[in-house]
Amino acid sequence: MKIVMAHGSGGNATRELIRNLFQKYLSNAYLDKMEDSASLPKSEFSLALTTDTFVVTPLEFPGGDIGKLAVCGTVNDLWMVGAEPQYLTAGFILEEGLDLELLERIVKSLSLAAQEAGIYIVAGDTKVVQGNGGMYINTTGLGFKKFQQLTDGQTVQKNDAIIVSGNLGDHHACIMSQRMEIKNSIQSDCANLGPAVRALLEQGIRVRIMRDITRGGLGTVLNEIAEAKQVTMEIEEESIPVHSEVQSFCDILGLDPLYMANEGKFMCIVAKEDEEKALEILKNTKLGANARIIGHIIDTGRYLVTLKTRLGGRRIIDVLYSEGLPRIC
Amino acid sequence: MKIVMAHGSGGNATRELIRNLFQKYLSNAYLDKMEDSASLPKSEFSLALTTDTFVVTPLEFPGGDIGKLAVCGTVNDLWMVGAEPQYLTAGFILEEGLDLELLERIVKSLSLAAQEAGIYIVAGDTKVVQGNGGMYINTTGLGFKKFQQLTDGQTVQKNDAIIVSGNLGDHHACIMSQRMEIKNSIQSDCANLGPAVRALLEQGIRVRIMRDITRGGLGTVLNEIAEAKQVTMEIEEESIPVHSEVQSFCDILGLDPLYMANEGKFMCIVAKEDEEKALEILKNTKLGANARIIGHIIDTGRYLVTLKTRLGGRRIIDVLYSEGLPRIC
């Protein structure tokens, strides 16, 4: 069975698709009311709101699929501002010809990822467009800012440590391998960063800022922060964690892990005094075994990101300049 | 200038597009922080959350464009549950080849519609995919439920009146005319329903339920409510407001306004005692000149929607059965 234009009509075919597939996996007390908007209780916390659209191809890949990615990506954006994810909306654009069994696997995966992240899917929408059997998913997440560290005006200070939560480049190398039909065992790192972030915040680490390292890679993220905060960062090439198989993949293709996308990694800047404790906390989480302190804030008042190379030289790290990899998330 | 894949890379081209186009029109204190998630103050009201993806073609049409539609559609869904729109997210999927001037007009229109609706755009996302120069927009809206009528367990009762806020079928007939290149003066009714809904609620009308009449048309909306509430509705054909030019268009093409999509019309069920006052209030709003009482709840405990025809006969109104018009919203 395939998706046809009638599935987007708003009539009987749409109702059947929603009842037989979306409700089957996504049903909960909020969503089942099928109102124009979901009605949610008052919050005693301030709010965080974020949106992301996912257009990755292929739709399924080692380590994940567009459904899992659509939940993890948005949930992670909430955690990055110290907000606990509460409610999620999901907007599906289905291309005519999309295989219904594939769609079912993706919706099931999305549902499972939402359960694991502790977020309710409270509103949804489905549209059908002409195309070649692909699909896009927008998710928008609403979170409650239960952790005050990131809202109490923490400023980035000299000597603060820059920490990365694990190996870089996995998602990028995985998607690229799939497109190029290269056989290897590289898996996407697509994951919910919640447990790691919660551990840091609950144990009182003075986190100045956190960012998940997605499109544009670590190089771009560091530059964006350095520019916004007007600080000078120095990172050490030999401290940057990269899995050996991903490093080989990069060496062959001339890729730089600093500019490769991840979907289950974040960087954070923490107070110098907390750096060892923060690293230990991260290493004790499921996804943090390869966490590393990769550098420090060496000056304030001036925007610059430099890399100390393995050979002892220094080079300036700029934002991603060239195209990266299209449709990676 | 056209959109190219590099605009979706996450690197410099993406940053330039965001700075030179999106920020130019959408800038506000929330969005300008450019964090992973927007941080919003605590709300003293309960919340409403809704999402909608817009895939309409053509992107611009008489009476509106996909940008205006993307704001009005989501804002209206919030109003339908008695929530005042507060915050909006916008996720753009741009197809390679999209004309940058067209994109700029659309973003400008979206910005204007958001200002008029009193909603802040607090988070955004841009992706680029292969294609033919089209675009899709997802908007997700967060509202505060300031009006209690719709949350205090109002039940649909016998003799309640069914009111429609204006002429049916305009958006559908407009989009269809554009696609068929038929010359006429039919305009889309794409509009923010806020002022009309606010007037009803602030003046204390006992509104049982409201629904905007989009995909699937009035026939589908009435059936969904009648089924959910297990009531029998009878509506009168001669009471259903349709603009004469739209009616002629329908007569020629064999269309039924009952199943045609609108983007600036809603129906509400109000207490019998309030029906005349509600109608008067609506008629005094900008968009309500053609509001009509189109029928009543004639029984409870049984799900049925019947139409009393101009000739005095009765027929059963079912949900939209056939395809409708693809990509109408």
Residue B322's pLDDT is what? 65
| pTM score, whole prediction | 0.96
The answer to whether residue A301 scores a pLDDT higher than 90 is: yes
Residue B149 is predicted with a pLDDT of 73
- Going along chain B from its start, the domains and CATH numbers come out as 5-144 (3.30.1330.10), 161-316 (3.90.650.10)
Query: Could you identify the residue written with the tokens 């429609």?
Result: B164
The tens digit of pLDDT for each residue in B176-195 reads 999 999 999 999 999 999 99
Is B323's CB within 8 Å of A36's CB?
no
Tell me the average pLDDT of chain A. 94
Disruptive mutation site among B37, B57, B209, B317 for chain A (greatest number of A CBs within 10 Å): B37
Mean pLDDT value across residues B108-118:
98
Q: Please determine, for residue B253, whether its predicted confidence score (pLDDT) is greater than 90.
A: yes
State the pLDDT at residue A199: 97
Question: What are the tens digits of pLDDT across the range A121-180?
Answer: 999 999 999 999 999 999 999 999 998 777 656 789 999 999 999 999 999 999 999 999
- How confident is the model over B15-54, as pLDDT tens digits? 889 999 999 999 999 998 888 899 999 999 999 999 999 9
CA nearest to A7 within chain B: B323
The pLDDT score that the predictor gives to residue A200 is 97
Measured between alpha carbons, how far is B136 from B66 in angstroms, rounded to an integer?
8
Residue among A29, A35, A117 at smallest CA distance from A70: A117
Instruction: Tell me what pLDDT residue A323 has.
Output: 67
B103 confidence band (pLDDT: 50, 70, 90): very high
What amino acid occupies position B99? D
**DSSP annotation of A270:** E
- A319 within 8 A of A184, measured Cβ to Cβ: no
pLDDT of residue B158: 97
Identity of the residue in B12, B53, B87 whose CB atom sits nearest the CB atom of A91? B53
DSSP readout, B132-154? SS-EEEEEEEEEE----TTTS--
Using a CB-CB distance cutoff of 8 angstroms, which residues of chain A are in contact with residue B90? 51
Please answer yes or no on whether A138 and B140 come within 8 Å at the CB atom.
yes
Beta-carbon contacts of residue B261 (< 8 Å; ≥ 6 apart): A10, B171, B172, B175, B213, B214, B215, B216, B217, B324, B325, B328, B329
Closest CA to B155 of B292, B300, B275, B282: B300
Q: Do B55 and A127 touch (CB under 8 A)?
A: yes
Q: What is the mean pLDDT of residues A206-215?
A: 94
For residue B323, what pLDDT band results from cuts at 50, 70 and 90? low
Residue of B nearest to A76 (CA): B36
Q: Quick one: pLDDT at residue B260?
A: 95
Residues of A in contact with B123 (CB under 8 A): 49-51, 140
Average pLDDT over residues A66-87: 97
Contact A37 B81 (CB under 8 A): yes
Is the Cβ–Cβ distance between B209 and B156 less than 8 Å? Answer: yes
Q: How confident is the model over B129-146, as a mean pLDDT?
A: 96
Strands A120-129 and A84-95: parallel
pLDDT digits (tens, 9 = 90+) for A249-267: 999 999 999 999 999 999 9
Task: Tell me the per-residue pLDDT of B276-316, one tens digit each, with 9 for 90 and over.
Answer: 999 999 999 999 999 999 999 999 999 999 999 999 999 99
* A214 Cβ contact list (under 8 Å, min separation 6): A73, A261, A262, A263, A329, B10
Q: Is pLDDT above 70 for B152?
A: no
Q: What is d(CA B261, CA A86) in angstroms, rounded to the nearest whole number? A: 33
What pLDDT was estimated at residue A35?
85
Percent of chain B with pLDDT over 90: 88
The string of DSSP codes covering B136-202 is EEEEEEEEE----TTTS-----TT-EEEE-S-SSHHHHHHHHHHHT------------HHHHHHHHH
Q: What is the pLDDT of residue A33?
A: 85
What's the rounded mean pLDDT across residues A177-203? 97
Contact B51 A327 (CB under 8 A): no
Question: For B49-69, what is the mean pLDDT?
Answer: 98
- Asked if the model's pLDDT at residue B172 lies above 80, the reply is yes
Q: Is the omega angle on the peptide bond into residue A41 within 30 degrees of 0, that is, cis?
A: no
CA distance B151 to chain A (A): 9
Q: Which helix (H) or strand (E) holds A239?
A: none
- Alpha-carbon distance of A147 to A201, in angstroms, equals 7
Question: Is B238's pLDDT higher than 70?
Answer: yes
